[in-house]
Structure 1
Amino acid sequence: MTAVERMPAATSVPGMLARGRELVDPPLRQALDRLDDHSRLVAAYHLGWCDEHGRPANGSSGKAIRSGLTLLVGEAVGGRAEPAVPGGVAVELVHNFSLIHDDLMDRDTKRRHRRTVWAIWGDATAVLVGDALACLADEVLAESNTPYAAPAGHALAVATRKLIRGQVLDVAFERRDDVTLAECLDMAAGKTGALLGVAAELGAILSGADPVTCDAFRTYGWELGLAFQLVDDLLGIWGTPETTGKPVFSDLFAHKKTLPVVWSLQYGGAPGRDLAAWFANPSGDASEAAELVERAGGREWALAEAEERVRNAGKALDAAGIAPANRDQLDQLAQFVAERQL
Structure 2
Amino acid sequence: MEPRSGTGSVQDAPAALPVPELLARGRALCTPPLRAAVARLAAPMDTVAAYHFGWIDRDGTPVAGDGGKAVRPALALLSAEAVGAPAQVGVPGGVSVELVHNFSLLHDDLMDGDETRRHRATAWTVFGPAQAILVGDGLAALGTEVLLDAAVTGIASAADAARAVRLITTTTRQLIDGQAKDLSFEHRDVVTVEECLDMEAGKTGALLAAASAIGAVLAGADDRVSDALQRYGMHVGLAFQAVDDLLGIWGATEVTGKPHWGDLRQRKKSLPVAAALAEGGAASRRLAAELADPSGRGEEGEDQLAARAALIEQAGGRAWTQQEARRQHRTALAALDEVPMTDEVRQRFVALAEFVVVRER
Which whole-Å CA distance do the structure 1 matches of 2:210 and 2:98 have between them?
A: 12
8 A Cα contact 2:77 2:94, kept in partner = yes
- How is 1:21-60 mapped onto 2 (pairs within 5 angstroms)? 21-60=27-66
Secondary structure in structure 1 of the residue aligned to 2:150: coil
- Cα 1:256–1:201, aligned 2, differ >3 Å: closer, same or farther? same
Instruction: Specify the alignment match of 1:63 in structure 2.
Output: 69
Shift of 1:10: 6.6
**TM, length-normalised to structure 1:** 0.96
Instruction: Specify the alignment match of 1:323 in structure 2.
Output: 342
Which whole-Å CA distance do the structure 2 matches of 1:215 and 1:163 have between them?
A: 18
Shift of 1:67: 1.1
Instruction: Specify the alignment match of 2:209 in structure 1.
Output: 197
1:28 maps to a residue whose letter is L
Query: Would you say 1:272 and 2:284 are equivalent positions?
Result: yes
Query: Would you say 1:252 and 2:264 are equivalent positions?
Result: yes
Query: Would you say 1:295 and 2:314 are equivalent positions?
Result: yes
Residue of structure 1 aligned with 2:169, choices 157, 162, 169:
157
Residue of structure 1 aligned with 2:79, choices 73, 92, 105:
73
**Greater CA drift, 188-197 or 259-268:** 259-268
Instruction: Specify the alignment match of 2:3 in structure 1.
Output: none
Which whole-Å CA distance do the structure 2 matches of 1:123 and 1:8 have between them?
A: 45
8 A Cα contact 1:10 1:16, kept in partner = no
Query: Would you say 1:310 and 2:316 are equivalent positions?
Result: no
Instruction: Specify the alignment match of 2:126 in structure 1.
Output: 120
1:215 maps to a residue whose letter is D
Which whole-Å CA distance do the structure 2 matches of 1:58 and 1:336 have between them?
A: 23
- Cα 1:126–1:276, aligned 2, differ >3 Å: closer, same or farther? same
2:325 maps to a residue whose letter is A
Q: Deviations over 1:43-98 (max 9, x none)?
A: 00000000112100122311111111111111121241011100000000000000
Instruction: Specify the alignment match of 1:332 in structure 2.
Output: 351
Shift of 1:249: 1.5
1:304 maps to a residue whose letter is Q
- Cα 1:111–1:5, aligned 2, differ >3 Å: closer, same or farther? farther
- Cα 1:5–1:168, aligned 2, differ >3 Å: closer, same or farther? farther
RMSD: 1.6
**Greater CA drift, 312-321 or 247-256:** 247-256
Structure 1 residue ranges, 4+ long, deviating more than 3 angstroms after superposition: 4-11
Shift of 1:204: 1.3
8 A Cα contact 2:123 2:132, kept in partner = yes
Secondary structure in structure 2 of the residue aligned to 1:89: helix
**Greater CA drift, 32-41 or 72-81:** 72-81
8 A Cα contact 1:271 1:292, kept in partner = yes
Shift of 1:247: 2.6
Which whole-Å CA distance do the structure 2 matches of 1:301 and 1:178 have between them?
A: 17
Instruction: Specify the alignment match of 2:102 in structure 1.
Output: 96
Secondary structure in structure 2 of the residue aligned to 1:69: helix
1:316 maps to a residue whose letter is A
Q: Deviations over 1:88-134 (max 9, x none)?
A: 00000000000000000001010011111111111111110000000
* Unmatched segments (≥5 aa) in structure 1: none
Residue of structure 1 aligned with 2:225, choices 213, 226, 229:
213
Query: Would you say 1:105 and 2:111 are equivalent positions?
Result: yes
Shift of 1:208: 1.6
Which whole-Å CA distance do the structure 2 matches of 1:313 and 1:75 have between them?
A: 18
Instruction: Specify the alignment match of 2:237 in structure 1.
Output: 225
Instruction: Specify the alignment match of 1:173 in structure 2.
Output: 185
8 A Cα contact 2:16 2:344, kept in partner = no
* Unmatched segments (≥5 aa) in structure 2: 1-5
Q: Determine which structure has greater relative contact order: mean sequence separation of CA pairs < 8 Å that are 6+ residues apart, divided by chain length.
A: 2
1:130 maps to a residue whose letter is G
Which whole-Å CA distance do the structure 2 matches of 1:218 and 1:98 have between them?
A: 20
8 A Cα contact 1:174 1:256, kept in partner = yes
Q: Deviations over 1:122-171 (max 9, x none)?
A: 11111100000000111100111311110000011001000000000000
8 A Cα contact 1:227 1:307, kept in partner = yes
Q: Deviations over 1:230-282 (max 9, x none)?
A: 00000001111111112322111121111111110112521111111222236
Shift of 1:182: 0.9
8 A Cα contact 1:196 1:225, kept in partner = yes
8 A Cα contact 2:174 2:202, kept in partner = yes
